[in-house]
Structure 1
Amino acid sequence: MPPPAPGDHEARRKDVSEAVWRVLAAKGFGGLTLRAVAAEMGVTTGMLTHYFPSKRALVTHALDLLEQDTAGRPRRTPPADGLPTVRAMLLDVLPLTPADTARNRIWVSSWDLSLADDALAAQQGDRYTRLRDTFRPHLETARDLGEIPASADTGQLAASVVAFVHGLVVQAIFDPGRFPEGVQIAMVDDFVARLAGAEPTAGRGDHMQLFLTPPPPVA
């Protein structure tokens, strides 16, 4: 494949981005290499170095693609401001659908590479800052509405919210039998209730019993 003409640069970059995404979906970050992307496109690795001179450049682009895909995913419509919005946002993060499960698996697979590279680690830290910042105004609204205590530190609460939901994501990915959809939703509802200083809502015992009971062995 010849080098792209100037007018074709953006179109070719889009083709490369789509190939990167297909490799990520199939192999995760562990399988993301220039060779794998080139094979996916049917081109030489030499052509790809025009766009990605290093593995870090390729991974950085892949993380940006993943963040764009995450930001553009379908979202639930919250029934009200404040804590109902926080609940909807939490559910949007969880692996409750095949697409969301695949997206979360890719995110988790990226952590290994980021931990080994200071620049990538800093970028991941920035992403977590942005995620906390998306929750904070809704927690402030909840405080203004009297749904959480007036003395609540919304910055700290936002950190707790992100820690909770990503901890649940990891458990659901690695132990889906113990954390099916109903358990994940029940845990979110109990977490939101605790944000408000309330006891967990009654009527979710069946789901929480699933959490407490080991899953049956796979036949």
Structure 2
Amino acid sequence: MPRAVDHEQRRFEIVAGLWQIVAEQGIEGVSLRTVAARAGVSMGRVQHYFGTKDALVVAGIDLLVKRAVIEYEATVGRPPQDRLLHILLQQIPATEAGRIGVTVWYAYVAKAMTHPAVREILAEATRVGVEECTRHIQEADGLDEAEARSHAVELLALSDGLTLRALIGDITAEEAEALIRACRSRPRRPRERG
């Protein structure tokens, strides 16, 4: 009897190899051959699942975003403040796996400058992040949509900046998290209308 093949698992194993290469050498270090070697599969298998280096690179950012969404969706049912903090703290490199993930993310951010498909995926992920943060801020703080959106953009920019500082070792992940939590402990109140 033929063995059942889990194609999604095989694709994931190849993309995990890609992420390791990107974390160590940047996207410039990616080739079908280097990824195949890192994933422990033949180059033919990589070509079978992805076809080209470009398709593999795009699949890598697509899967990275999808995995972040799955982690976020696991917070459904928690209070808005907790869900907001999940988004803001998710990228802080608090573990070695987190450091690899955020290193890969920022390699893709750089790639987005010259790669329209990567730019599109990152822009959509950013748009959704702003929308989700806006909604949670509205629920937690009672702000109108414009005020909540403005605060969401500020908080996400703070998270991005602190993530970069933690990534390069200027501050610790714990310090970055504490600064974000402190910022959120001072919720904004709706402006007086008049």
Range class of TM-score, shorter chain: 0.7 to 0.9
Alignment of 1:50 with 2:37, yes or no, is no
Structure 1: 5+ residue runs without aligned partners? 198-219
1:98 counterpart (96, 99, 115): 96
- Contact 1:76–1:88, Cα closer than 8 Å, also in 2: no
1:86 counterpart (75, 80, 84): 84
Structure 2: 5+ residue runs without aligned partners? 190-194
- Contact 1:85–1:138, Cα closer than 8 Å, also in 2: yes
Alignment of 1:141 with 2:139, yes or no, is yes
Structure 1 residue 42, shift from structure 2 partner: 4.9
Structure 1 residue 138, shift from structure 2 partner: 0.9
Stretch deviating more after TM superposition (69-78 or 36-45)? 69-78
1:192 counterpart (184, 189, 194): 184
Bigger helix share: 2
Counting only pairs closer than 5 Å after superposition, residues 61-210 of structure 1 correspond to structure 2 as 61-73=59-71, 81-144=79-142, 149=143, 153-174=147-168, 176=169, 178-196=170-188
CA distance in 2, matches of 1:20, 1:151: 39
| Runs of 4+ displaced beyond 4 Å | 41-44, 72-78, 149-152
- RMSD over equivalenced CA pairs, Å: 3.3
Structure of larger gyration radius: 1
Stretch deviating more after TM superposition (181-190 or 69-78)? 69-78
Structure 1 residue 72, shift from structure 2 partner: 4.4
CA distance in 1, matches of 2:130, 2:49: 32
Q: Which amino acid aligns with 1:19?
A: G
Structure 1 residue 64, shift from structure 2 partner: 1.8
TM-score by length of 2: 0.76
Percentage of matched positions with identical amino acids: 23
Q: Which amino acid aligns with 1:159?
A: V
TM-score by length of 1: 0.68
CA distance in 2, matches of 1:92, 1:161: 13
